[in-house]
Chain A
C-alpha cells in the first residue's frame, strides 16, 4: 500500500511487477492510467501544469487509500500522481489495485480515482498552443461519480 507524488514519468509494467511480482495470493490486478488529452472542451491543449499542496497531498491520498482498504479486501495497491508541466499524451496518474478476485480490484480502482479527483489537492492549468492559459474548472460529474460510493 503506497502513495507517491512525483515529477517524473512512471512505467506501468515495472510498477505492477514491483507491487505484485512473486505474490501467489493475488488473482486480479487492475491498473488505471490517466493521461493528458490534446484537447479539452474543443480547446487544443499543449501543456498541462499540475500544482499540488505538498504534504497534504500525500496525507489525503493515504486517507483515500485507507478508506479503499477498509471497504475491499485488497492485497496490494499503489497510487502515483505526477506534478509539474506535462504535455498531451503524457501520463498523469496511475492506480493499481490487486486482490484475490476481480470484483474488489475493479471497484477499488474506480473508487480511488473518483476520490482522487474530488479530494486530493491537485490543480490543473491548461495552456493552449498559442500560449493562453486557464485553470481547469472542477466538474460536477466528478462529484456525482464520487457520491455513488457514499
Chain B
C-alpha cells in the first residue's frame, strides 16, 4: 500500500471524550501517512474545535487498537477499530 492510500477505520469514543467530540463512533478515511496513535490524535485535532478540546491533554486520553490497550507511540498497523477514552474508573 502506498503512503498516499487512504484506509477506512472505525473510531470509537467513550465517557468525556465522547461527550466533548459529540459522537460515540464514526468511520473515517485515514490518510496513509498516519502511522501511529499519536499521529492519528494530531490529525484528529485538525478536524474541529471539539476534537481539539477532547485531545487538549493528549497524554491523558487512552487508546485501544482492536480492543487492546496501547501506548500513544503504538503503530496503527492494520487495526480496524481505534478507541479513545479517559483513564478507566471501573471496579
Contact = CB atoms under 8 A, between A and B. Distances in A.
Interface of A: 34, 50-53, 55-56, 59-60, 81, 92-93, 113, 116-125, 135-138, 142
B84 to A, nearest CB: 11
20 contacts: A53-B64, A53-B83, A53-B85, A59-B67, A81-B91, A92-B91, A113-B91, A116-B91, A118-B88, A120-B88, A120-B91, A121-B85, A121-B90, A122-B89, A122-B90, A123-B85, A135-B16, A137-B87, A137-B89, A142-B91
Nearest to A79: B91
A123 B88 contact: yes
* A interface, over-half SS: mixed
Contacts of B90: 50, 52, 81, 93, 116-117, 120-124
A117 B64 contact: no
B86 A123 contact: yes
Nearest to A92: B91
A142 B91 CA distance: 10
Interface string B1-34: 0000000000010111000000000000000000
B88 A117 contact: yes
Contact of A119 (B15, B16, B69, B83): B69
A138 B89 contact: yes
A120 B64 CA distance: 11
B16 A121 contact: no
A59 B68 CA distance: 8
Nearest to A122: B90
B11 to A, nearest CB: 13
A122 to B, nearest CB: 3
